[in-house]
């Protein structure tokens, strides 16, 4: 049997040939980028040959081992495989190219073959290596499938297609929930505020991936025009993804004038107090599951940070009634006191919409009007602000459309007054804006899942969304270790009795 060093003779000869080519007079006339291209292509071939030589060496060592001590092998089904056959090969696509793995097989009639070397190598179920799957996940969560495929094949050669890329991505995301279930969260002091937030963002889906109600609405719709939608018509082609965020924040007390510049401006000596800073941010999301599932996930993670409910729980929302009901129901179920705060930005949007009902476009006094009412809301007088706006509307000649715009603002302030106690939030130092979850909606969904022309299947959208959340949490490297361990356990159970020595 050749020595270990002799087993790499093919790779050694390949390396020597590459060195000879680089030292040749012809190579002396190459531009630096041509040398780069040469080394990129030939270097990948060299690495692939080293990989292949290593696998061939392991094959020879396995054959030598079974010659010295011929075992019987028992499969996971408990059946003995008495027959040994050598040279069973399978292809493995790697980041260096495709190699062949040859190993011994233990066989039994009408039973699947068992290859002990597969477990030692922790080979995947399919053709593509774990390293290639990791590369696919790293690229496909940042760019389109076509761009990802081009980048992978430029680096690794033609090792996979677009359908295989999507399949690898789905498989890469399968252990995210168990990874976070097992994660130990760093505890905080009781004075640190625990902030939760939930939001939704639509994703354009293929028809078969829509929820049943959306699919039925699309089927019922009769377009007025053939080439475009009529006013008020919707495409009925989106499925709502729900996103969740949990983070810690040290209290940062403020006053209304720290948030909104009063009419006339601040004095030059006044320095606004900064708001609370988020740390320990954790994001999650799902397009497969409904909002109730994600709200439950968010509460699970929050309880992992504060199991005894000793901290103040602040929940920031945009005022969607369905989300509020789910959050309140979950809080009652877990017997935790929560402080629900509606995002101040949404309130300001309503005030600005009402302002243009009283002011002409471009009128600078509209800004002072908004600031006056916003300061009243921040001081805890949302209902009084609504009454003042309503009284102004009653004494102003408004068109029907203008009055309806004012009415929307007034009803919003009155209906949500119990969640607009900004005076308490500012005094105790809580955050009052949903910037974290709004940013997550842009980053997790809009930057990848909402790119022009994209239409998603359910499995692909779920995988990309969850993997992007893991990456945003800074957990991609540790998650991948967890995923590989879980995948190995699925394919090669630890309680499998592999060898039974013959007498």
Greatest mean pLDDT range, 1-10, 256-265, 301-310: 301-310
Please give the average per-residue pLDDT across 430-447, as a whole number: 93
Please give the average per-residue pLDDT across 117-136, as a whole number: 96
C-alpha angle 131-148-483 in degrees, rounded to nearest 5: 35
pLDDT, residue 68, reads 83
Please give the average per-residue pLDDT across 83-94, as a whole number: 93
pLDDT, residue 503, reads 32
Residue 499: is its pLDDT beyond 60?
no
* pLDDT category of residue 351 using cuts at 50, 70 and 90: very high
Residue boundaries of the structural domains of the chain: 6-159+482-501, 188-444
| Lowest mean per-residue pLDDT among 46-50, 216-220, 239-243, 480-484 | 216-220
Query: Which residues sit opposite 197 in a β-bridge?
Result: 245, 316
Cα–Cα distance between 385 and 393 in angstroms, integer? 12
pLDDT, residue 501, reads 39
pLDDT, residue 268, reads 79
Within the chain, how many helices (H) and strands (E) appear? 19, 11
pLDDT, residue 280, reads 93
Query: Which residues sit opposite 316 in a β-bridge?
Result: 197, 341
pTM of the model: 0.89
Residue 294: is its pLDDT beyond 90?
yes
Please give the average per-residue pLDDT across 430-443, as a whole number: 93
| Lowest mean per-residue pLDDT among 46-50, 55-59, 66-70, 403-407 | 66-70
Please give the average per-residue pLDDT across 27-47, as a whole number: 94
Query: If residue 260 lies in a helix (H) or strand (E), which one and from where to where?
Result: none
What average pLDDT is seen over the chain? 90
CB 302 within 8 A of CB 315: no
Does residue 496 or residue 26 have the better pLDDT?
26
In Å, the largest CA–CA distance within the chain is 103
Residue 496: is its pLDDT beyond 60?
no
Residue 7: is its pLDDT beyond 90?
no
Residue 102: is its pLDDT beyond 90?
yes
Residue 361: is its pLDDT beyond 60?
yes
* pLDDT category of residue 232 using cuts at 50, 70 and 90: very low
Burial class (CB within 10 angstroms; exposed 0-12, middle 13-18, buried 19+) of 133? buried
Please give the average per-residue pLDDT across 252-275, as a whole number: 89
Q: Please, which residues have CB within 8 angstroms of residue 190's CB and are 6 or more apart in sequence?
A: 310, 311
Percentage of residues of the chain with pLDDT beyond 70: 93
pLDDT, residue 397, reads 87
Please give the average per-residue pLDDT across 80-92, as a whole number: 92
* pLDDT category of residue 218 using cuts at 50, 70 and 90: low
Cα–Cα distance between 336 and 6 in angstroms, integer? 68
pLDDT, residue 497, reads 45
- Ranges of beta strands (E only) in 289-377 are 313-317, 338-342
pLDDT, residue 132, reads 97
> pLDDT, tens digit, for every residue of 181-207?
998 888 899 999 999 999 999 999 998
> pLDDT, tens digit, for every residue of 304-350?
999 999 999 999 999 889 999 999 999 999 999 999 999 999 999 99
Query: Which residues sit opposite 285 in a β-bridge?
Result: 243
Please give the average per-residue pLDDT across 445-472, as a whole number: 93
Does residue 228 or residue 214 have the better pLDDT?
214
Please give the average per-residue pLDDT across 239-247, as a whole number: 95
pLDDT, residue 264, reads 80
Residue 374: is its pLDDT beyond 50?
yes
Residue 89: is its pLDDT beyond 60?
yes
Residue 485: is its pLDDT beyond 50?
yes
* pLDDT category of residue 267 using cuts at 50, 70 and 90: confident
Does residue 66 or residue 385 have the better pLDDT?
385
Query: Which residues sit opposite 205 in a β-bridge?
Result: 456
Please give the average per-residue pLDDT across 152-160, as a whole number: 93
Instruction: Map residue 352 onto helix, strand or coil.
Output: helix
* pLDDT category of residue 213 using cuts at 50, 70 and 90: confident
């Amino acid at each position: 049997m050749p020595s270990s060093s002799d087993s790499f003779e093919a790779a050694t000869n390949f390396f020597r040939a590459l060195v000879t080519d680089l030292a040749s007079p012809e190579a002396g006339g190459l531009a630096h980028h041509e040398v780069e291209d040469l080394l990129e292509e030939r270097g990948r071939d060299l690495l692939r040959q080293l990989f292949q030589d290593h696998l061939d060496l392991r094959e020879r060592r396995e054959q030598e081992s079974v010659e010295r001590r011929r075992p019987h092998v028992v499969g996971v089904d408990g059946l003995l495989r008495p027959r040994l056959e050598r040279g069973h090969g399978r292809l493995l696509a790697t980041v260096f190219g495709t190699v062949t793995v040859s190993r011994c097989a233990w066989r039994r009639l009408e039973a699947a073959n068992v290859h002990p070397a597969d477990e030692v190598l922790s080979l995947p179920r399919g053709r593509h290596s774990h390293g290639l799957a990791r590369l696919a996940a790293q690229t496909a969560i940042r760019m389109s499938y076509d761009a990802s495929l081009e980048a992978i094949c430029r680096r690794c050669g033609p090792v996979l297609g677009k359908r295989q890329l999507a399949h690898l991505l789905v498989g890469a995301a399968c252990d995210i929930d168990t990874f976070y279930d097992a994660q130990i969260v760093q505890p905080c002091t009781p004075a640190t505020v625990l902030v939760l937030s939930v939001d939704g963002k639509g994703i354009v889906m293929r028809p078969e991936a829509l929820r049943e109600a959306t699919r039925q609405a699309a089927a019922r719709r009769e377009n007025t025009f053939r080439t475009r939608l009529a006013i008020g018509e919707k495409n009925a082609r989106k499925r709502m993804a729900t996103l969740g965020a949990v983070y810690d924040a040290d209290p940062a007390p403020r006053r209304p004038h720290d948030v909104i510049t009063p009419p006339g401006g601040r004095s030059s000596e006044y320095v606004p107090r900064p708001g609370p800073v988020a740390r320990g941010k954790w994001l999650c999301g799902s397009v497969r599951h409904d909002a109730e599932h994600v709200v439950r996930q968010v509460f699970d993670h929050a309880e992992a940070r504060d199991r005894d409910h000793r901290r103040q729980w602040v929940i920031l929302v945009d005022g969607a009634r369905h989300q509020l009901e789910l959050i309140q129901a979950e809080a009652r179920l877990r017997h935790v006191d929560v402080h629900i705060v509606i995002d101040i930005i949404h309130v300001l949007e309503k005030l600005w919409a009402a302002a243009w009902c009283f002011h002409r476009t471009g009128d600078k006094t509209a800004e002072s009007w908004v600031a006056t009412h916003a300061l009243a809301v921040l001081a805890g007088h949302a209902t009084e602000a609504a009454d003042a706006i309503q009284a102004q509307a009653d004494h102003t000649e408004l068109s029907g459309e203008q009055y309806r715009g004012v009415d929307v603002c007034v009803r919003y302030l009155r209906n949500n007054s119990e969640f607009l106690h900004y005076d308490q939030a500012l005094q105790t130092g809580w955050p009052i804006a949903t910037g974290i979850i709004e940013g997550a909606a842009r980053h997790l969904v809009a930057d990848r899942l909402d790119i022009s022309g994209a239409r998603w299947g359910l499995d692909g959208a779920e995988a990309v969304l969850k993997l992007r959340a893991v990456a945003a949490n800074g957990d991609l490297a540790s998650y991948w270790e967890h995923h590989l361990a879980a995948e190995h356990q699925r394919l090669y159970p630890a309680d499998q009795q592999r060898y039974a020595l013959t007498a």
